[in-house]
């Protein structure tokens, strides 16, 4: 927050391509099995930065005194960081010839659940920032972005497969 207030980091620059991104779509490819997930993650970044910018516009430096709002924003940024790190780690540790199915499953589970958490937290944040009267243009942007964040990942089945694998192997997949 300090770097944004000191204008060391520009949220406006990051959000410049928001409208272009909202109309973009993604098709999964054989080369990048996480393409859909990465697109959802980029949508989550846009939502989080948009909400953070709105919070700064409304509260300014007093945002640091809004403990619950600050906590929700911190949780959103933490989800983004861990999901992006997990995808990067899985892609680094898997070779094109031998893909680690379980590592990919773990990443897909974590990402799907993190994105759902971010969607939930974004609603909380917007309600606090705008005192339950969120402007329609902000709601439209957030709704469009969150629709890109919804993964059709069967996390229950993936967790079941992961549990069976760990039980059989008696070790963690990494």
From 166, 54, 40, select the one nearest 114 (Cα to Cα): 40
Distance CA 37, CA 88 (A): 12
Share of residues in the chain with pLDDT > 90 (%): 51
* 102-150 pLDDT tens trace: 888 899 999 999 999 999 999 999 999 999 899 999 999 999 999 989 8
Q: What is the DSSP string of 26-61?
A: ----SS-TTHHHHHHHHHHHHHHHHHHHHHHHHHGG
174 inside domain: no
Domain of 94: which CATH number?
Answer: 1.20.140.10
> Region 74-101: what's the mean pLDDT?
84
Q: What's the number of domains the chain is made of? A: 1
127 inside domain: yes
Domain boundaries, position 25: 2-169
152 inside domain: yes
Q: What is the DSSP string of 75-138?
A: HHHHHHHHHHHHHHHHHHH--SSS--HHHHHHHHHHHHHHHHHHHHHHHHHHHHHTTT---HHH
């Amino acid at each position: 927050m300090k770097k944004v207030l000191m204008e060391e980091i520009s949220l406006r620059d990051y959000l410049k391509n928001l409208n272009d991104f909202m109309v973009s779509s993604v098709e999964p490819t054989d080369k990048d099995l996480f393409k859909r997930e990465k697109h959802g993650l980029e949508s989550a970044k846009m939502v989080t930065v948009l909400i953070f910018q709105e919070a700064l516009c409304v509260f300014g430096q007093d945002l640091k005194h809004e403990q619950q709002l600050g906590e929700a924003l911190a949780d959103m940024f933490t989800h983004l960081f861990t999901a992006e790190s997990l995808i990067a780690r899985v892609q680094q540790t898997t070779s094109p010839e031998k893909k680690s199915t379980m590592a990919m499953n773990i990443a897909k589970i974590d990402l799907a659940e993190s994105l759902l958490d971010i969607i939930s937290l974004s609603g909380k944040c917007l309600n606090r920032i705008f005192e339950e009267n969120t402007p329609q243009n902000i709601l439209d942007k957030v709704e469009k972005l969150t629709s890109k964040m919804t993964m059709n990942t069967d996390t229950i089945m993936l967790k079941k497969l992961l549990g069976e694998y760990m039980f059989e192997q008696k070790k963690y997949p990494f």
